[in-house]
């Protein structure tokens, strides 16, 4: 089968299209999927560079999220069957025509959803939902400040917080991204410059009850000052490339709670491999998210697709910060 192969950690430009054997279906709890599209994220580049939390054994096929059809099931699989349209979360391996993954992180796609609409749901929307609901216990009375609200998890957090009844302040770097966040249900949209003053002005001097931060860097420091007393801060990632240092004195005097949130714990991306333990809870979450998407309450977006040879261009588009939603690699020539 055709696949993108990383033979050594380093530049994305060293990843090449190769013909490799199809993945074996040795695990009775695994399924093999014919891949249509696979998503690209900042973590993709970090994994290829050997700088992500996990370092795959070399050589490896990148790609952690794919949409396609089940073509084979292990003997113990009863929830899925060949022919099912699904989205899957994998450790890696999705930039290939076939991928075999444990059934625990494979989710059926409603017939009403196009493949490119379904693709961003598991990781971006799953991260946003579980962070807001499981960690921050979001309630309708909350005002939520979402950093990086133009792409990936940030845009998902805007839509989910709105659907849960919260007031949403979206922070994004460009006017186009801010306009898109407003169309998706944000009550207000602000630029990163002078963030604390802008948020305080919109909340009568009070600040935000919940801060969603997939950006890190200097913006994290500004967001702490934009937070209300007793606020919950959700640290999801560091798209800025800089890991911030938390000023504990500010957490103390404002009674802030800082939640570190790694969605990978629930999908098997830790040494303990807890995906089976959390599978039932995540199936419920994904059922809710796909139902909302099918009803038009969420609008998962792949704004650009690239051929299997275009991974470098896809990552460059992400790094330019001009992308709304997600970008994807097109593996199969026809779309369901």
Q: From 261, 287, 311, give the residue that closes a domain.
A: 261
Residue 250 sits in the same domain as residue 295? no
Domain that holds residue 185: 124-261
First to last CA, the chain: 20
Asked if pLDDT for residue 261 goes beyond 60, the answer is: yes
pLDDT at 321: 72
pLDDT at 166: 98
Count of structural domains, the chain:
2
Asked if pLDDT for residue 154 goes beyond 50, the answer is: yes
Residue 6 sits in the same domain as residue 114? yes
Residue 93 sits in the same domain as residue 196? no
Residue 73 sits in the same domain as residue 167? no
Residue 6 sits in the same domain as residue 112? yes
Residue 204 sits in the same domain as residue 143? yes
pLDDT band at 319 (very low <50, low <70, confident <90, very high): confident
pLDDT tens for each residue of 161-175: 999 999 999 999 899
Residue 161 sits in the same domain as residue 227? yes
Tell me, yes or no, whether 266 lies in a domain: no
pLDDT band at 336 (very low <50, low <70, confident <90, very high): very low
Looking at every residue in the chain, the average pLDDT score rounds to 94
Residue 68 sits in the same domain as residue 191? no
Which of 120, 124, 171 minimizes the C-alpha distance to 145?
171
pLDDT tens for each residue of 113-138: 999 999 999 999 999 999 999 999 99
- Of the chain, the percentage scoring pLDDT greater than 90 comes to 88
Residue 193 sits in the same domain as residue 295? no
- Of the chain, the percentage scoring pLDDT greater than 70 comes to 99
Q: From 237, 261, 285, give the residue that closes a domain.
A: 261
41-55, 191-205, 207-221, 313-327 — which is least confidently predicted? 313-327
pLDDT at 334: 52
Asked if pLDDT for residue 323 goes beyond 80, the answer is: no
Tell me, yes or no, whether 201 lies in a domain: yes
Residue 17 sits in the same domain as residue 98? yes
Residue 96 sits in the same domain as residue 214? no
Which of 122, 117, 65 minimizes the C-alpha distance to 303?
117
Tell me, yes or no, whether 205 lies in a domain: yes
Asked if pLDDT for residue 255 goes beyond 60, the answer is: yes
Tell me, yes or no, whether 320 lies in a domain: yes
Backbone angles phi, psi at 42, to 5 degrees: -60, -35
Q: From 206, 240, 261, give the residue that closes a domain.
A: 261
Tell me, yes or no, whether 335 lies in a domain: no
pLDDT band at 239 (very low <50, low <70, confident <90, very high): confident
pLDDT at 235: 96
Residue 31 sits in the same domain as residue 116? yes
Long-range contacts of 21-28 (CB under 8 A, 24+ apart): 22/98, 23/93, 23/96, 23/98, 23/99, 23/100, 24/100, 25/72, 25/73, 25/74, 25/100, 27/74, 27/100, 27/102, 28/74, 28/75, 28/76, 28/77
DSSP state of 151: B
Tell me, yes or no, whether 291 lies in a domain: yes
pLDDT tens for each residue of 267-310: 999 999 999 999 999 999 999 999 999 999 999 989 899 999 99
161-170, 172-181, 205-214 — which is least confidently predicted? 172-181
- Give the domain CATH number at 183: 3.90.180.10
The helix (H) or strand (E) run that includes residue 206 is none
């Amino acid at each position: 089968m055709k696949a993108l192969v990383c033979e050594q950690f380093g530049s994305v430009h060293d990843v090449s299209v190769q013909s490799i054997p199809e993945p074996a279906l040795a695990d009775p709890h695994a399924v093999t999927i014919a891949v249509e599209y696979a998503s690209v994220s900042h973590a993709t580049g970090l994994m290829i560079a050997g700088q992500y939390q996990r370092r795959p054994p070399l050589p490896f096929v990148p790609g952690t999220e794919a949409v396609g059809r089940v073509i084979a099931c292990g003997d113990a699989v009863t929830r899925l069957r060949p022919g099912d349209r699904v989205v899957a979360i994998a450790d890696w391996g999705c930039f290939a025509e076939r991928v075999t993954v444990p059934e625990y992180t494979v989710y059926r796609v409603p017939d009403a959803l196009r493949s490119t609409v379904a693709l961003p749901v598991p990781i971006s929307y799953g991260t946003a939902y579980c962070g807001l609901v499981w960690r921050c216990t979001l309630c309708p009375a909350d005002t939520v400040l979402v950093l990086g609200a133009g792409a990936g998890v940030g845009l998902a957090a805007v839509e989910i917080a709105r659907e849960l009844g919260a007031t949403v302040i979206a922070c994004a770097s460009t006017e186009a991204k801010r306009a898109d966040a407003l169309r998706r249900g944000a009550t207000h949209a602000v630029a990163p410059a002078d963030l604390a003053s802008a948020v305080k002005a919109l909340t009568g001097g009070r600040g935000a009850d919940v801060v969603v931060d997939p950006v890190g860097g200097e913006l994290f420091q500004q967001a702490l000052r934009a937070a209300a007393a007793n606020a919950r801060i959700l640290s999801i990632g560091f798209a800025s490339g800089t890991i911030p240092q938390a000023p504990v004195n500010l957490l103390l005097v404002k009674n802030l709670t800082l939640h570190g949130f790694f969605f990978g714990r629930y999908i098997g991306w830790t040494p303990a491999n807890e995906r089976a333990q959390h599978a039932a809870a995540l199936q419920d979450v994904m059922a809710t998210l796909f139902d909302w998407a099918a009803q038009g309450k969420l609008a998962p977006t792949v704004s650009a697709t690239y051929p299997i040879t275009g991974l470098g261009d896809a990552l460059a588009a992400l790094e330019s910060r001009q992308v709304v939603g997600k970008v994807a690699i097109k593996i199969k020539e026809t779309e369901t």
